[in-house]
Amino acid sequence: MSLFALLVAFVFAIVGREGERKRTLYALRVFLEFVGVGFALAWLLYWIPW
Amino acid sequence: MFVTDMKPNPTKAWLMALIAWLIPGSGHAGQGRILRGALGGASVLAIFPCGVALGGHIYGLRDTSEGLLSSLFGFCDLGSGILWLGSRALGLAVSERPQLSTSEYGNVFLMVAGLLNFILALDAFDIGVGRKS
């Protein structure tokens, strides 16, 4: 999941922002959001019994 | 072969988009965005084999194994360009492997690789016509 998030974040940053600094920050944000949402959904689904 | 000048040119932009679709990252690299092309291309080229290793398979455009969605999945897979063409030609990862518990993840990896490459190709086109730097 982390590898997937990292690779997708690279591409999103390339096409989504202009400027190296903005791209780097956007890639970091997208990566953290992917991982964070992944963990949040995993815990949410863990407590739902069906 | 590659374009290095920065003047907008619709014909060359279409060509760059086509090349970008065929070889991930080459559209950016061909327009002087070497790092962006290398990073984007490497990302797509890394996601695709991960998907194959996880047990994913390529859907055909006329595939009906999962109803109409199969054609949509096939379109997503088509985005991988030469990887899709090569897989179809060599018969690599074209059949389902449901015995692997990760095969659905693999399918998603393959589709995302294709969709990301479509986005990269569109970005290369935008650079070619001067909408982006």
As for the ipTM of the complex, it is 0.84
B44 CB neighbours in chain A (<8 A) are: 11
CB contact under 8 A, B133 and A11: no
Residues lower than pLDDT 70 in chain B: 1-7
Phi, psi of B65 (to 5 degrees): -60, -30
Residue-wise pLDDT tens digits, B26-57: 999 999 999 999 999 999 999 999 999 999 99
Contact B50, B80 (CB under 8 A): no
Q: Best interface-test mutation with B: which of A3, A10, A11, A17 has the largest number of B CBs within 10 A? A: A11
Joined tokens for residue B122: 């569109």
A11 CB neighbours in chain B (<8 A) are: 40, 43-44, 116, 119-120
Q: Where are the domains of chain A?
A: 2-47
For residue B65, give Cα distances in angstroms to A16, B23, B110.
35, 28, 17
pLDDT at B68: 84
Joined tokens for residue B63: 């595939």
B46 CB neighbours in chain A (<8 A) are: 3, 7
CB contact under 8 A, A3 and B50: yes
